[in-house]
């Protein structure tokens, strides 16, 4: 659009100083003749720019002239406030400069765009990934962003109920689908009993841990892929999980060895580990 191109010419001249018609045409990917017409249009609109002839000539705006940011669309203004990285800027000693720049940008925006920019800055935090770390996939990010922006309540998780022979629910397993690090929780009567996740820095073999609401921790170790593993507390085995008695690949038995143990919770922990391991190794089809 011509109006967008006129604004681009003005901003280029303000930020780069003197530019020839050929330079402007190259930046905007238009013909030199089009640049001449746009310069005339800016003259007619009262923009104080002038041209110098000769080898070192070109167009430039009058010193001290600055345009207001009336050319920004709503989306462009919002994107500007998502592009800030205050953490790295502060580490480089540029924190105050970044804050001052954002303040000046906010003051230059028209009132409607200013309100939207402040709104997005208050609701979103952009965290850049580390240089040597792989990006973690974040499913449903677009839906979450939309819910945050419009003030909606959002709850996204996978739920599985464990029932006793009479049909009563003895435990509920939840998987947080939006978590950056895979984890599952076991609940009873609306209260979290345990959170299951992979243990970091485990040597040689995979080890998962189950963090109880009481603060205690159980460890799950063994051949997790082939479903031959133990649930332990401080080195004592509470339950053994095995499928050696079954011919069906996804079937396994859970032998609870301590009479005073919470059998339903241990079964739920085994289910959590099975789901998390299957997802990690790319065969989460159950």
Identify whether residues 173 and 230 lie together within a single domain. Answer: yes
Region 238-247: mean pLDDT is 76
Residue with tokens 């480089």: 92
Is residue 150 included in any domain, yes or no? no
Mean pLDDT of all residues belonging to the chain: 76
Identify whether residues 36 and 98 lie together within a single domain. Answer: no
Is 58 within 8 Å of 52 (Cβ atoms)?
yes
Number of structural domains, the chain? Answer: 3
Identify whether residues 173 and 107 lie together within a single domain. Answer: no
> What pLDDT, on a 0 to 100 scale, did the predictor assign at position 88?
60
- Tell me the C-alpha to C-alpha distance, in Å, between residue 2 and each of 13, 30, 80: 17, 11, 23
**Residues found in the chain:** 286
Is residue 137 included in any domain, yes or no? no
Distance of alpha carbon 224 from alpha carbon 247, whole angstroms: 17
Is residue 142 included in any domain, yes or no? no
> What pLDDT, on a 0 to 100 scale, did the predictor assign at position 180?
47
| Residue 271 in this model has a pLDDT that exceeds 70 | yes
Give residue 199's domain range. 157-280
Question: What is the four-CA torsion angle of 218, 223, 229, 235, rounded to 10 degrees?
Answer: -50
3-class DSSP state of 256: strand
User: CATH code at 33?
Assistant: 1.10.10.10
> What pLDDT, on a 0 to 100 scale, did the predictor assign at position 161?
83
Q: Each residue of 47-75: pLDDT tens digit?
A: 888 788 776 678 888 876 666 555 556 66
Q: Each residue of 116-126: pLDDT tens digit?
A: 667 766 666 66
Identify whether residues 247 and 185 lie together within a single domain. Answer: yes
Identify whether residues 184 and 274 lie together within a single domain. Answer: yes
Identify whether residues 124 and 178 lie together within a single domain. Answer: no
* More confident: 139 or 10: 10
Identify whether residues 102 and 162 lie together within a single domain. Answer: no
Structure tokens at 202: 């485990």
Is 176 within 8 Å of 157 (Cβ atoms)?
yes
Residue with tokens 């973690």: 136
Is 274 within 8 Å of 227 (Cβ atoms)?
yes
Q: Each residue of 217-229: pLDDT tens digit?
A: 999 988 888 888 9
Structure tokens at 81: 């406030």
Q: Worst-scoring range by mean pLDDT, 70-74, 174-178, 186-190, 268-272?
A: 70-74
Point out which residues pair with 221 in neighbouring strands: 207, 230
Identify whether residues 83 and 44 lie together within a single domain. Answer: no
pLDDT band at 171 (very low <50, low <70, confident <90, very high): confident
| Residue 285 in this model has a pLDDT that exceeds 60 | no
> What pLDDT, on a 0 to 100 scale, did the predictor assign at position 140?
66
pLDDT band at 210 (very low <50, low <70, confident <90, very high): very high
Is residue 243 included in any domain, yes or no? yes
Of 170, 284, 275, 172, nearest in space to 227 by CA: 275
| Residue 11 in this model has a pLDDT that exceeds 80 | no
């Amino acid at each position: 659009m011509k109006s967008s191109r006129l604004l681009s010419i003005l901003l280029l001249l303000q930020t780069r100083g003197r530019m020839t018609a050929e330079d402007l045409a190259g930046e905007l990917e238009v013909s030199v003749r089009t640049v001449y017409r746009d310069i005339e249009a800016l003259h007619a609109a009262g923009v104080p720019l002038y041209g110098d002839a000769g080898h070192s000539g070109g167009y430039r705006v009058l010193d001290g002239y600055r345009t207001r940011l009336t050319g920004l669309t709503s989306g462009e203004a919002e994107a500007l406030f998502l592009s800030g990285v205050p953490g790295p800027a502060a580490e480089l000693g540029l924190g105050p400069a970044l804050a001052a720049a954002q303040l000046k940008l906010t003051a230059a925006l028209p009132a409607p765009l200013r309100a939207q920019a402040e709104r997005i800055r208050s609701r979103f935090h952009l965290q850049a990934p580390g240089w040597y770390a792989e990006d973690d996939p974040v499913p449903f990010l677009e839906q979450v962003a939309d819910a945050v922006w419009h003030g909606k309540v959002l709850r996204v998780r996978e739920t599985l109920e464990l029932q006793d022979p009479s049909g009563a629910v003895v435990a509920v397993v939840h998987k947080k689908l939006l978590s950056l690090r895979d984890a599952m929780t076991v609940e009873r009567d609306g209260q979290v009993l345990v959170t299951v996740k992979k243990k970091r820095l485990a040597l040689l073999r995979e080890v998962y841990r189950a963090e109880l609401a009481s603060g205690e921790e159980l460890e799950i170790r063994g051949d997790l892929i082939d479903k031959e593993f133990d649930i332990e507390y401080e080195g004592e085995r509470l339950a053994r999980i095995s499928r050696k008695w079954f011919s069906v690949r996804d079937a396994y038995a859970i032998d609870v060895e301590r009479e005073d143990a919470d059998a339903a919770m241990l079964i739920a922990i085994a289910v959590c580990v099975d789901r998390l391991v299957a997802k990690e190794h790319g065969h989460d089809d159950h």
